[in-house]
């Protein structure tokens, strides 16, 4: 009986999480519509930045390059720093960022590596295919496989934050020959690992309410762009998600992000990753309920098949991803080292760059 009651309580929490997440989405929609009614011109307008700000042209960060990759012929933009003959380090950003999120690492590691910070498809100055299906994980991560090969290196150290962590881990699993060392930061090792965690942590599912919101058409782009991309200030410097260090994101940095996101097609492209992913999420709850009613237990997730030395760096003030999720993911990867930075946000490599760089350096020395 106690077991039945426990399962029932868990099911109630899970159903509530699924009901409340769309409610949060509707609340955000209502607030946006209200702001349109009050001040339509300010809310619905933003200006396209015609030229990049000076910080994006800083020669100390590296040189700007372009390469077309794979059968898709996608043109990727990247910034490279260091000697091309040294070991390759590829850095993959998350949402709603671009190569500039790795500015501190471009400087710190260019002495020992050829550091390449890439704009993934849809972001920054890389190509932005209009169809949502072009942003599935296998396609975006496939670009990185093609990029590594196009750069003339047989393997690399692969680094990723947020959505970039998903891509980096995918490459490490699908093409282990290309990844010698893997560093992930505040991002999923895999979507299946996140689903496994949310089975027993409905509050984590509730934090993913924005996933419902981004599945909508047009409205997410409007919300991201309103009031001249005010959303970027909220995301990068706000109390919930933003960097905790006061000068982590300067006004000049914020303008760089606004430049990237104001370009034609950029708003739709950065949302399309969410539209392209998560097809399993729509049937996740129904499958669990079906298994419960039939008395079947859902199969346990296999240990994530990452074979190279790996490090997970985690800011414990992440407004979306639980720190316990980081612990669970680290346990799912054999030999993965977990380093938690107290007081750091989701954008950990920008929030506490010196600490992140030290942890990376120490990790590399251990190998």
Angle at alpha carbon of residue 115, lines to 159 and 154, rounded to 5°: 80
Q: How far apart are CA 150 and CA 196, in angstroms?
A: 35
Tokens read off for 101: 């999120």
Catalytic residue among 77, 153, 201, 346: 346
Catalytic residue among 253, 274, 281, 351: 274
Strands across the sheet containing 337-341: 63-69, 74-81, 114-119, 88-92, 156-161, 179-185, 310-315, 337-341
Sequence-separated (6 or more) residues with CB below 8 Å from residue 14: 202, 205, 285, 288
85 given a catalytic annotation: no
138 given a catalytic annotation: no
Of residues 193, 172, 194, the one with CA closest to residue 183: 172
DSSP 303: P
Sequence-separated (6 or more) residues with CB below 8 Å from residue 135: 121, 122, 129, 269, 272, 273, 275, 276, 277
Q: How far apart are CA 275 and CA 278, in angstroms?
A: 8
Of residues 232, 237, 261, 234, the one with CA closest to residue 249: 237
Q: 274: how many CB neighbours lie within 10 A of its CB?
A: 20
346 given a catalytic annotation: yes
Catalytic residue among 146, 162, 318, 351: 162
Tokens read off for 295: 């008395």
Q: What secondary structure does DSSP assign to 37-80, as a single string?
A: HH-HHHHH--PPPSS--GGGG-GGG-EEEEEEETTTTEEEEEEE
Cα-trace Rg, the chain: 20
Q: Which residues are identified as catalytic?
A: 162, 274, 346
């Amino acid at each position: 009986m106690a077991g039945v009651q426990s399962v029932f309580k868990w099911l109630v929490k899970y159903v509530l999480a699924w009901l409340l997440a769309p409610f949060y989405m509707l609340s955000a929609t209502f607030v946006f519509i209200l702001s349109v009614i009050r001040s339509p011109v300010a809310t619905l307008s933003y200006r396209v930045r015609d030229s990049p700000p000076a910080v994006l042209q800083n020669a100390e960060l590296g040189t700007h390059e372009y390469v077309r990759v794979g059968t898709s012929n996608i043109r990727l933009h990247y910034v490279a720093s260091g000697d091309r003959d040294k070991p390759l380090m590829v850095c993959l950003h998350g949402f709603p960022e671009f190569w500039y999120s790795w500015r501190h690492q471009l400087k710190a590691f260019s002495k020992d590596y050829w550091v390449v910070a890439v704009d993934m498809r849809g972001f920054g100055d890389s190509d932005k295919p209009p169809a949502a299906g072009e942003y599935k994980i296998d396609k975006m991560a496939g670009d990185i496989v093609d990029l590594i090969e196009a750069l003339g290196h047989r393997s690399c150290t692969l680094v990723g934050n947020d959505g970039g962590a998903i891509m980096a881990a995918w490459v490490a699993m699908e093409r282990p020959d290309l990844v010698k060392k893997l560093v992930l930061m505040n991002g999923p090792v895999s979507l299946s690992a996140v689903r496994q965690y949310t089975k027993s942590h409905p509050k984590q599912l509730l934090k993913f309410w924005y996933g419902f919101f981004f599945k909508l058409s047009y409205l997410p782009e409007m919300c991201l762009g309103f009031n001249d991309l005010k959303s970027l200030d909220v995301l990068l410097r706000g109390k919930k998600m933003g960097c905790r260090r006061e000068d982590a994101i300067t006004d000049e940095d914020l303008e760089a992000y606004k430049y990237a996101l104001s370009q034609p097609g950029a708003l739709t492209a950065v949302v399309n990753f969410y539209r392209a992913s998560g097809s399993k999420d729509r049937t996740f709850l129904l499958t669990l309920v079906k298994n419960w009613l039939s008395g079947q237990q859902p199969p346990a997730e296999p240990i994530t098949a990452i074979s190279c030395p790996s490090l997970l760096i985690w800011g414990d003030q992440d407004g979306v991803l639980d720190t316990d999720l980081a612990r669970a993911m680290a346990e799912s990867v054999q030999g993965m080292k977990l380093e938690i930075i107290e007081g750091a946000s989701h954008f950990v490599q920008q929030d506490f760059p010196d600490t992140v760089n030290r942890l990376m350096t120490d990790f590399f020395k251990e190998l």
